[in-house]
Amino acid sequence: MNYELMKKTTAEKIVEYIQAKKQVTASELVDYLLISERAVFKQLANLIADNTLSKIGKSPKVFYMISDEFFAKKSPFIIGDNIKKIIEENFLFISPSGERKQGVDGFEYWCGRTNQSVEKTAVEYVKTLEKYNAFKKNSVIDGIEKFKATFEKVGLDKVFYLDFYSIERFGKTKLGQLLLYAKQSQDKKLMRELTSDVKSRIDELIVRYKIDGIGFIPPTVKREVQLMKELEKNLHEHVRRVSIVKIKTEIIVPQKTLTKLSDRIENARNTIIVDERGVFDNVLLIDDAVGSGATLNETALQIKQKGIAKKVIGLSITGSFKGFDVISEV
């Protein structure tokens, strides 16, 4: 008996069965094929490796389905080494079904989903990154002019973003994707990855501006695992903490639900309290995403008004490119 032919035939039977059933378990395939569980898992591993199948769920509830790549019309593509390196370092896409696609393979996958030429789109992606990266100096984006244009009174001496939340045409940046899904899924592993990605730049700011106090903007949405708490824990910064609390109100109104700038200012002013008795020279205030910037600015104003610090530096993991924007997803 030709073993290779038998293996191919078995693989074809699996693919045909899953195409008909849409989603199946390994035990269903064992019953259908009348072969051992071990043989089925070997076939499934091979089909996943060559992107014919994908799987969702965690043991014991794992389902197998036909992969998007199986249906995609792939054609050879050539992109330069420099462009390839930039894409490998910067591109991340998380599919609607929760599959993580990154680097060049992820970019090819995304182009296939959106019916775009890989070669042409790769060049355009790098050009778009260069446009937005032009705003970066020392690996951070200076956002103070946005704040000055938005608020009558600015409490921050400086404010920086580590990256934009999203860019034109290509959507959320790598940091934007990590931030969104770390918060929404309350996934500690993603939160640790996010922390690892941003730590060196936060350390640089602490040294550059001689930070002796660090405050984390408290969350407004109740979650079992809070990103800002995990970020504070994982950063391991040996700097005194500035006590900042979110007071409980009869009805909790998250900032992201407010579309008017005046409402966001009112919300931040009346629900965020700097509960600190110490005195600092330079405080670093950290928030996850800045849309309007109302929370960072109002907290900084409190710190200044209470004489807690001489200077306040604001830092957001991501910020919006526009003047006043609402990042309602995060």
- Given this model, what pLDDT does residue 1 score? 39
Q: How confident is the model over 200-228, as pLDDT tens digits?
A: 999 999 999 999 999 999 988 888 999 99
Q: What are the beta bridge partners of residue 57?
A: 62
What's 3-70's CATH class?
Answer: mainly alpha
Domain spans in the chain, listed from the N-terminal domain onward:
3-70, 72-133, 137-319
Report yes or no on whether pTM surpasses 0.85: no
311 and 304 Cβ atoms separated by less than 8 Å:
no
- State mean pLDDT over 288-295: 91
Cβ-proximal residues to 296 (8 Å cutoff; 6+ apart), any chain: 156, 159, 217, 285, 287, 290, 314, 316
Amino acid identity of residue 50, one-letter, is D
- Quote the DSSP letter at residue 259: -
143 and 290 Cβ atoms separated by less than 8 Å:
yes
The architecture CATH gives domain 137-319? 3-Layer(aba) Sandwich (3.40)
Residue 328, SS3 per DSSP = coil
- Given this model, what pLDDT does residue 226 score? 93
Residue percentage of the chain with pLDDT more than 70? 94
- Given this model, what pLDDT does residue 20 score? 87
CA dist list (Å): 73 to 69, 76, 108, 109: 8, 10, 11, 11
Which residue, among 2, 31, 36, has the nearest Cα to 17 in the 3D structure? 31
- Given this model, what pLDDT does residue 72 score? 57
Q: How confident is the model over 130-173, as pLDDT tens digits?
A: 999 999 999 999 999 999 999 999 999 999 999 999 999 999 99
Amino acid identity of residue 195, one-letter, is T
Mean pLDDT score across all residues of the chain: 91
Amino acid identity of residue 19, one-letter, is Q
- Scan for tokens 């330079």, then name that residue: 282
- Scan for tokens 């109100």, then name that residue: 249
Q: How confident is the model over 46-87, as pLDDT tens digits?
A: 999 988 899 999 888 999 998 877 765 455 578 899 999 999
